[in-house]
């Protein structure tokens, strides 16, 4: 049957900010109706009793590693993990090999996404050619080819003149610049947050100032140019204050936080577990609490995973040599639900909004991020009572680098609907 009727679920309505029982009628990849009760004799009925029906998630920041590092992840495995985790769209960061710094790579990524037919991949192009920070990449051409944003992620654009031109140039097509805010002259060879604890642990530090200096400059350039700036993976209390003041001044700035910066702090490093080695680093408990408060208050707009897969042999190296990053796409939502919503630290609407509607708005994705008549039929069913174990059988990513490996979480995504097609898990 072409029509599908999802009956009896508890719909998370981020537009009206309410959670209530409703039926959803879907046809040709779009939502025809959302009503307390719908009858449609010509539709396939899907029983949603006991399930939350949640708008499809959108990840603004993930590393899918293709092209060039397919031993870590590729578009097939990455989008399998994404759809498994309730994500219907994922922004792929451009620090690949070769980097996504021209239209041909953008079009290659879009072609691979279509071939895999799972979560949609939204390419992010580089700001500069080769991610070298010296000369602007072909921003307009990449935009026309399908790039949704631009970033030199993994590196900050150190040259202020180049960053100014990027913000000015992208204004012509309402483009988005994503800043990896890290002054690398302060973090070179760093391994962890610079603090009394990490000095005691003998780990070379990465100071908060490396982030705040970069954010301050980029905000001032956004003020100067009127360009759209998005701050990636904010990690500190001091950074939040800068972003808050920028928003109060009506500067076009948005910001994201990762699940790991919301859930963990630097004390996790006492056992030198490289699965907690991330960039920016896990900071103090005070920083972690401030990030959650900033999310509640709307200073931080989005939860983005910074999904960073690595092969076992890489991540299991000694702490100094192991690469930065952890995976999230398969299980970010259930872990955040259990850790934040069930505990009463964050309400369900705010969690869902920060992972669906707000990313959709920032990226300019029409008819996505909410369950509403006329919107794309992209949502998932979440059972808050079913327990799952995060192990090799569960994880669909090629990589397993997570400190939550073998962790049991209460909450299972039963299926994900993307543009009317059901992916059962």
Q: Residues at the annotated binding site for substrate?
A: 63-65, 95, 279, 310, 324-325
Give domain status of residue 370, yes or no.
Answer: no
Per-residue pLDDT of the chain (425 residues; tens, 9 = 90+): 689 999 999 999 999 999 999 999 999 999 999 999 999 999 999 999 999 999 999 999 999 999 999 999 999 999 999 999 999 999 999 999 999 999 999 999 999 999 999 999 999 999 999 999 999 999 999 999 999 999 999 999 999 999 999 999 999 999 999 999 999 999 999 999 999 999 999 999 999 999 999 999 999 999 999 999 999 999 999 999 999 999 999 999 999 999 999 999 999 999 999 999 999 999 999 999 999 999 999 999 999 999 999 999 999 999 999 999 999 999 999 999 999 999 999 999 999 999 999 999 999 999 999 999 999 999 999 999 999 999 999 999 999 999 999 999 999 999 999 999 999 99
Give domain status of residue 88, yes or no.
Answer: yes
Is residue 24 located within the same domain as residue 67? no
Q: Residues at the annotated binding site for Zn(2+)?
A: 61, 63, 153, 180, 233, 306
Is residue 26 located within the same domain as residue 60? no
Q: For helices 237-248 and 285-297, what crossing angle results, to 10°? A: 20
Q: Based on the residue annotation, tell me whether 152 is a catalytic residue of this protein.
A: no
For residue 256, the enclosing domain spans 56-363
Q: Residues at the annotated binding site?
A: 61, 63-65, 95, 153, 180, 233, 279, 306, 310, 324-325
Give domain status of residue 173, yes or no.
Answer: yes
Q: What is the total count of domains within the chain?
A: 2
Is residue 136 located within the same domain as residue 241? yes
CA distance 291 to 333: 17
Is residue 42 located within the same domain as residue 68? no
For residue 247, what pLDDT is reported?
A: 99
Is residue 214 located within the same domain as residue 266? yes
Residue of 218, 306, 312, 419 marked active site: 306
Is residue 49 located within the same domain as residue 66? no
Is residue 225 located within the same domain as residue 116? yes
Q: Which CATH number characterizes residue 41's domain? A: 2.30.40.10
Give domain status of residue 62, yes or no.
Answer: yes
Give domain status of residue 398, yes or no.
Answer: no
For residue 342, what pLDDT is reported?
A: 97
For residue 2, what pLDDT is reported?
A: 85
What are the beta bridge partners of residue 177? 150, 229
For residue 1, what pLDDT is reported?
A: 61
**Beta strands 228-231; 253-257: pairing state:** parallel
Is residue 384 located within the same domain as residue 318? no
> At 381, which helix (H) or strand (E)?
strand 379-389
Locate 355 and state its tokens.
């992972």
Which CB contacts under 8 angstroms, 24+ apart, belong to 217-221? 217/160, 217/163, 218/163, 218/179, 218/181, 219/243, 219/246, 219/251, 219/253, 221/160, 221/163, 221/164, 221/167
Is residue 355 located within the same domain as residue 379? no
Q: Which CATH number characterizes residue 202's domain? A: 3.20.20.140
CB 182 within 8 A of CB 280: yes
Q: C-alpha dihedral over 415, 417, 423, 425, to 10 degrees?
A: -10
From the number of C-beta atoms within 10 Å of its C-beta (0-12, 13-18, 19+), residue 138 rates as: middle
Give domain status of residue 402, yes or no.
Answer: no
Give domain status of residue 20, yes or no.
Answer: yes
Is residue 198 located within the same domain as residue 212? yes
Give domain status of residue 235, yes or no.
Answer: yes
Q: For helices 208-225 and 237-248, what crossing angle results, to 10°? A: 10
Is residue 191 located within the same domain as residue 334? yes
Stated pTM of the model: 0.97
Is residue 15 located within the same domain as residue 102? no
For residue 76, CA distances in Å to 65, 109, 141, 390, 423 come to 11, 11, 26, 20, 14
Closest CA to 59 of 365, 302, 391: 302
CB 177 within 8 A of CB 214: no
């Amino acid at each position: 049957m072409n029509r599908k009727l999802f009956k009896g679920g508890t719909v998370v309505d981020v537009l009206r900010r309410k959670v209530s029982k409703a039926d959803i009628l879907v046809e040709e990849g779009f939502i025809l109706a959302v009503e307390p009760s719908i009858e449609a004799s010509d539709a396939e009925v899907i029983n949603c009793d006991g399930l939350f029906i949640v708008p499809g998630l959108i990840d603004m920041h993930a590393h899918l590693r293709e092209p060039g590092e397919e031993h870590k992840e590729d578009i097939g495995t990455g989008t399998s993990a994404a759809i498994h985790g309730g994500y219907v769209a994922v922004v792929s960061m451009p620090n690949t090999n070769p980097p996504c710094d021209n239209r041909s790579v953008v079009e290659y990524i879009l072609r691979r996404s279509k071939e895999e037919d799972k979560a949609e991949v939204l390419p992010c192009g580089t700001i500069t050619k080769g991610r070298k920070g010296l000369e602007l990449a072909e921003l307009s051409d990449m935009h026309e080819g399908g790039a949704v944003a631009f970033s030199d992620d993994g590196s900050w654009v150190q040259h202020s003149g180049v960053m100014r031109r990027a913000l000015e140039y992208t204004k012509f097509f309402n483009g988005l610049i994503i800043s990896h805010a890290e002054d690398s002259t302060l973090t070179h060879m760093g391994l962890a947050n610079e603090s009394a604890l990490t000095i005691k642990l003998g780990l070379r530090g990465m100071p908060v100032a490396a982030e705040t200096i970069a954010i301050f400059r980029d905000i001032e350039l956004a003020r100067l140019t009127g360009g759209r700036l998005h701050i990636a993976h904010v990690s500190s209390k001091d950074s939040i204050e800068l972003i808050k003041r920028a928003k109060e001044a009506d500067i076009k700035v948005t910001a994201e936080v990762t699940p790991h910066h919301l859930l963990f702090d630097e004390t996790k490093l006492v056992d030198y577990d490289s699965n907690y080695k991330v960039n920016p680093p896990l900071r103090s408990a005070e920083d972690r609490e401030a990030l959650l408060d900033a999310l509640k208050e709307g200073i931080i707009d989005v939860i983005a995973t910074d999904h960073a897969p690595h092969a076992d042999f890489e991540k299991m190296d000694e702490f100094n040599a192991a690469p930065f990053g952890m995976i999230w796409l398969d299980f970010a939502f259930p872990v955040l639900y259990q850790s934040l919503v069930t505990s009463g630290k964050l309400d369900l609407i705010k969690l869902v909004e920060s992972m669906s509607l707000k990313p959709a708005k920032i990226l300019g994705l029409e008819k996505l991020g909410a369950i509403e008549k006329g919107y794309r039929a992209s949502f998932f069913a979440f059972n808050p009572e079913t327990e799952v174990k995060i192990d090799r059988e569960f994880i669909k990513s090629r990589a397993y680098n997570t400190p939550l490996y073998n962790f049991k979480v209460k909450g299972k995504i039963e299926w994900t609907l993307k543009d009317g097609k059901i992916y059962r898990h």
